[in-house]
Structure 1
Amino acid sequence: MPAEHIRVAVVGLGVAGLAATKNLLEAGLQVTAFERNEYVGGLWKFNDSPDQLSVLKSTHPNGSKHFLAYSDFPLPADTPTYPSASVIHEWLNDYAKYFDLADHFRLGTTISRIDQVDHKFELHWSKGTEEHRERFDRVLITTGPFQRPRWPSIDGLDSSHPKVLHGHAYKTPEPFRGKSVVVLGSGNSACDICTELIGVAGKVYVSVRSGNRIFKVTEPPIDRIFTRRLFYKGGSVENTEYESQARATAAAGMDAAFKKHWPDYDLESLRMLPAPSNVHSIPGLNPHFIPALASGEITPIAGVKSIVPGKIITAEDVEISCDYVICATGGTFDYSILSPSIDPTNSKTSAWDECPRAEGLKIPRLYQGIFHPDVPGLAFIGPYESPSLANPADYDLMSSAIAQIWAENHSLPSKDDMAAWCDKCYEYQLKLVAEHKLPRPRLWKSELERWLNNAAGNGMNEAFANPDSALHQTDPELWDLCMDGVPNPYVYRLLPGREGARKAWPGARDAIFWANGQGTPPVI
């Protein structure tokens, strides 16, 4: 079927959905994008509803401005190195305006169910009191990786109790004024909540079951170390007998960097170390959290073993009286709008389900973490970890690959080959969770990026995986910056790539030099 006749529904208009809408349109497909809110940008706009995940007013992203950009749309030149959530949200709106996407949006629409009917997908959606059913040839779900609250397994935990809430429901510190609060978790959300509660709550505890590396804002940014050369080096041991050893070595390196960041503090006594490997934990960025632990403004305690009325009992059998418990324990992808026949988590995963460390996380059967192998035309962005920590760039690349496949410029493997890949992926998740709890399912990152580059047709594999490439020979300065310079996504739009592939961006070369402190910002 010609691309212009293929109707695609994109569900969700956050970072992934916006990039997907633009890239699918760029490939010539018909696109309708659904969003439950009356705005785009997803969680990057503060929303005071306790039922909806959003940033807090104090939230800053983990990455710096070049690390977080789309491949053909940098943040404005005057953006601080670490922009605020409101700046990110404004930039996402600018992206939608610049690429003229609004005519394809249906804002304020709620999708209650997606069925497969006669080889098409039927969406049940409503706006106000109006209810509709509409059929599409393809569906891409981009509703975010953490939409459904993930509750810890703790004796006596009652999620319906008014004094027990999930981190998703926390919006401001004011309801906790003068109260004693225990926050469970040591990730970004837990750090943000704890630091917001300082000076408002009567007492703030943070329950740390396993440590985490929380860095401070630095110049140059901490993400400067994640070069393409380092990415390739790490990829060389993925899915080999040396992978576990490499993870341990990487964790030791992260620990050393963490200690160097905070030389005046005993991170072990603050319960931040030891920490799991970077496979099993996501490093955070918060300049206030570690000093507040050291000063006593936040009191670190062991993991919570049980909860009884008015108190918690730690794994060290210490009883602590508290008024509120906030479970800042993350979230999972929400598959609830899918009918059972097309839900990728409905396959048998008994070995996973029996693992105590699973803690509500589901393992969807998705080829490359994206495509349903048994339901052609159904794809997802978000259930699995993406190639890097830079979600806008990763989601941009993923949706470019999806667009090329649905426009029939690139093909998926056979159903049997995809099934075999999914089996291997499932065994990998079992191996990882045997070591420690996973924030979300994980893939072999370098292998995934190579596959996405090939599907998108962007020429990356040919240009950078081979030191004898034409680009290295003709433009060694640019090649060196791409391999060892400031990590940025503009490289994905640098080369013309395969005929009919995703569009290159004429400003990419200038943007790469600009990100490395050379030249002027590219013209948008």
Structure 2
Amino acid sequence: MFYTQKIHIDFHSDCICYCSPDFGANIKMMKVAVIGGGAAGLCAARYLCAKPKLYQATVYEQSEQIGGTWVYRDDVGKDKYGQPIHSSMYSRLRTNLPKEVMLFPDLPIAEGGKTSFIKHTEVLQYLNRYVDTFHLQKCIQLLTRVESVKPVTKCGKTAWEVTVQSVVNPDSPPTVNQFDAVMVCNGQYAVPNWPSIPGLETFTGKVMHSHDYRHPEHFRGQSVVLLGAGNSGIDISLDLHAYAERVYLSHLHPLLQASLPANLQQVPGIKSVREGRVEFTDGRSVAADALILCTGYLYDFPFLTPECEVSVDRKRVTPLYKHVIHTKFPSLSFIGLVWRICPFLLMSCQVRFVMAALEGTMILPSKEEMDADTQRDYDYRCKELNMPHHYAHKLGDMQWEYCKELVRLANDVDAEDATKPIFEELYLDCSYWRSQDPLNYKTRTYELPGI
């Protein structure tokens, strides 16, 4: 359930309103900074560049190619420029959603042939084809790191001072530009969440986060404990089982009822670690050669200055209206914060929602109304759905109504291409088979006629 306020008749004082709904002759072009050249940033660029009379977009990407988390690197730690490796891909990863719901609504995925669950390399090929199809190269600046984003007052409205630095020449003077709006698209799967485990520092085996997992062969013949049974924990445990001698999947969720490999065992959460053994909350302990922490990731916006007034509290980012638009500075938005979704379809709805606010075709409620709406959504999750605090941006089955709401608020008929019922039907079918047969569900194939 998502709460919607009645549309207010006036813009909040910090909203950018360069044009009226009838798009009069005195439209002023908006300069928009897009931070990140992964899927979210490319989606933003695609729709901004489609309106060259309204927007001048600049995409800042700190790595040497587009693709974000879909750029697989065999190495871990830092790249040749001293930047942290962004990607969490592992060598044999295939998507856990069929490509038929992984697409952007205006570009079908041909990569992978008739296979539905495609390789990470094929997703990257698709993203590069997306860039080529919509001629986005002209607005992308690679090897450019955003150092800071700061709101400034310009002509009585909020503008944005964005400072960037060359990654190749880090000693060169930084460049400062001003923008009318900023879209933060830097992803959410790059900064590992390291849990606190008593005795972990005494463990004599290998400890790593799933962010750095690459090859199952490195664990041949070993006893491996994985903490966490989210998508990464389950996928990596299944990737490991053919090479490791024993795999223990430690988690607090109800036990998976599906058939699992004989050498893969579900165990409770970890109580403590002592040298070469891992003790679980039920008192059992096992000898382990390696411990892989599949404990998720943290939102990270090191470039946002304190003046941006963005708070991150245990996976909840505030103050954001509909998980996207800053309620005090509506020209600052965040694309792709929500999770457990069909990402590319949903991002396209979020981007067009933001653009409707920037263009003035959607008039936002007041800051007070937006904050109240956000709080009601959070209270609904915590009290009625009994979700923990760190699930503030989790959607799952709620994503469909959420996307429809963004489209409805934006009054963007074209955006309905991302909300076709067939996408939900396919997503639900995939979710069912993933729970029933996690070892084999990726062998299934789907076909969506006309899409």
Q: TM-score, normalised by structure 1?
A: 0.67
Alignment partner of 1:201 is 2:244: yes
2:70 partner letter: W
Q: Is the 8 A contact 1:333 1:382 kept in 2?
A: no
Secondary structure class of the residue paired with 1:331: coil
1:378 paired residue number: 332
1:59 paired residue number: 93
CA-to-aligned-CA distance 1:393-413 (integer Å, 9 cap, x gap): 110111112122212222211
2:199 partner letter: G
2:315 paired residue number: 361
Alignment partner of 1:431 is 2:431: no
Change (3 A) 1:107 1:464: closer
For 2:405 and 2:194, the matched residues in 1 are separated by 34
Change (3 A) 1:149 1:461: closer
Secondary structure class of the residue paired with 2:122: helix
Q: Is the 8 A contact 1:29 1:407 kept in 2?
A: no
CA-to-aligned-CA distance 1:121-159 (integer Å, 9 cap, x gap): 222221122332222111101111333222334333459
2:82 paired residue number: none
For 1:6 and 1:454, the matched residues in 2 are separated by 24
* Alignment equivalent of 2:301, drawn from 312, 319, 335: 335
1:305 paired residue number: 271
2:23 paired residue number: none
1:90 paired residue number: 125
Alpha-carbon offset, residue 454 of structure 1: 2.4
For 1:34 and 1:463, the matched residues in 2 are separated by 28
Secondary structure class of the residue paired with 1:134: strand
1:224 paired residue number: none
* Alignment equivalent of 2:290, drawn from 320, 324, 349: 324
CA-to-aligned-CA distance 1:423-479 (integer Å, 9 cap, x gap): 2133234327855575552466455323311244333899999xxxxxxxxxxxxxx
For 1:21 and 1:404, the matched residues in 2 are separated by 15
For 2:97 and 2:202, the matched residues in 1 are separated by 32
Q: Is the 8 A contact 2:146 2:303 kept in 1?
A: yes
Alignment partner of 1:176 is 2:219: yes
2:39 partner letter: V
For 1:115 and 1:161, the matched residues in 2 are separated by 45
Equivalent residue runs for 1:467-478 within 5 Å: none
Q: Is the 8 A contact 1:454 1:461 kept in 2?
A: no
For 2:358 and 2:138, the matched residues in 1 are separated by 21
Alignment partner of 1:126 is 2:140: no
* Alignment equivalent of 2:347, drawn from 361, 384, 395: 395
Equivalent residue runs for 1:187-226 within 5 Å: 187-211=230-254
For 2:423 and 2:137, the matched residues in 1 are separated by 35
For 2:223 and 2:71, the matched residues in 1 are separated by 29
Q: Is the 8 A contact 1:111 1:124 kept in 2?
A: yes
Q: Tell me, which stretches of 5 or more residues in structure 1 are unaligned?
A: 212-270, 274-289, 347-352, 354-359, 466-481, 490-513
Q: Is the 8 A contact 2:181 2:332 kept in 1?
A: yes
Change (3 A) 1:158 1:457: farther
For 1:159 and 1:79, the matched residues in 2 are separated by 48
Alpha-carbon offset, residue 362 of structure 1: 2.9
Q: Is the 8 A contact 2:149 2:304 kept in 1?
A: yes
Alpha-carbon offset, residue 487 of structure 1: 5.0
Q: Tell me, which stretches of 5 or more residues in structure 2 are unaligned?
A: 1-17, 20-26, 78-84, 428-445
Alignment partner of 1:143 is 2:143: no
Alpha-carbon offset, residue 75 of structure 1: 0.9
1:7 paired residue number: 31
Alpha-carbon offset, residue 35 of structure 1: 1.1
Q: Is the 8 A contact 2:320 2:327 kept in 1?
A: yes
Change (3 A) 1:29 1:462: closer
2:125 partner letter: E
Q: Is the 8 A contact 2:225 2:290 kept in 1?
A: yes
1:44 partner letter: W
Equivalent residue runs for 1:405-420 within 5 Å: 405-420=357-372
Q: Is the 8 A contact 1:150 1:361 kept in 2?
A: no
2:407 paired residue number: 453
For 2:200 and 2:317, the matched residues in 1 are separated by 24
Equivalent residue runs for 1:237-248 within 5 Å: none
For 1:159 and 1:394, the matched residues in 2 are separated by 43
Give the length in aligned residue pairs.
Answer: 388
For 2:73 and 2:426, the matched residues in 1 are separated by 29
CA-to-aligned-CA distance 1:205-240 (integer Å, 9 cap, x gap): 2212214xxxxxxxxxxxxxxxxxxxxxxxxxxxxx
For 2:73 and 2:406, the matched residues in 1 are separated by 33
2:133 partner letter: Y
Secondary structure class of the residue paired with 2:100: coil
Between stretches 450-459 and 374-383, larger displacement belongs to: 450-459
Alpha-carbon offset, residue 30 of structure 1: 0.7
Alignment partner of 1:76 is 2:28: no
For 2:380 and 2:233, the matched residues in 1 are separated by 28
Secondary structure class of the residue paired with 2:256: coil
Alpha-carbon offset, residue 169 of structure 1: 1.6
Q: Is the 8 A contact 1:332 1:440 kept in 2?
A: no
Alpha-carbon offset, residue 191 of structure 1: 2.4
Change (3 A) 1:190 1:398: same
CA-to-aligned-CA distance 1:268-302 (integer Å, 9 cap, x gap): xxx315xxxxxxxxxxxxxxxx65x3412x23222
Alignment partner of 1:116 is 2:68: no
Alpha-carbon offset, residue 107 of structure 1: 1.0
1:505 paired residue number: none
For 2:202 and 2:404, the matched residues in 1 are separated by 42
Change (3 A) 1:162 1:29: farther
